[in-house]
Amino acid sequence: MVTEELVRGILTDVLDPEIQIDIVNLGMVYGIEISEDGKHVKVIMTLTTMGCPAFDDIQAQVIEKVESLPGVEKAEVELTFDPPWDKEMMSEEAKLVFKYLF
């Protein structure tokens, strides 16, 4: 059975190409909706900047990773900027890495 925890776990393999930290620890994943039968998963997420040129690549990776989970037939990404992303949304681990990179 597909769970939110399982989806979040696999999404830690999707890195923001500019920052090289995964989208979960960056706080970019706002929500995960799973259909009752587990065949359809929607990932509600944001980007670190509006108009991010890497969105197409990130979206493709999210869909590929989620659709690789057993039982998932279709994955989609819903992009939102409400609330806008900021550094405080990152996990403590990501903040530590970010501090040393930038």
Domains (ranges, CATH) in the chain?
4-89 (3.30.300.130)
pLDDT for residue 52: 83
Long-range CB contact pairs, 45-50, < 8 A, 24+: 45/77, 45/78, 45/79, 45/80, 46/79, 46/80, 46/81, 46/84, 46/85, 47/79, 47/81, 47/85, 48/16, 48/18, 48/19, 48/85, 49/85, 50/81, 50/84
Q: At what angle do helices 55-67 and 4-11 cross, to 10 degrees?
A: 130
* Tens digit of pLDDT at every position of the chain (102 positions): 999 999 999 999 999 988 889 999 999 999 999 999 999 999 999 998 888 889 999 999 999 999 999 999 999 999 999 999 999 999 999 998 888 776
pLDDT for residue 50: 84
pLDDT for residue 75: 98
Q: What is the largest CA-CA distance in the chain?
A: 43
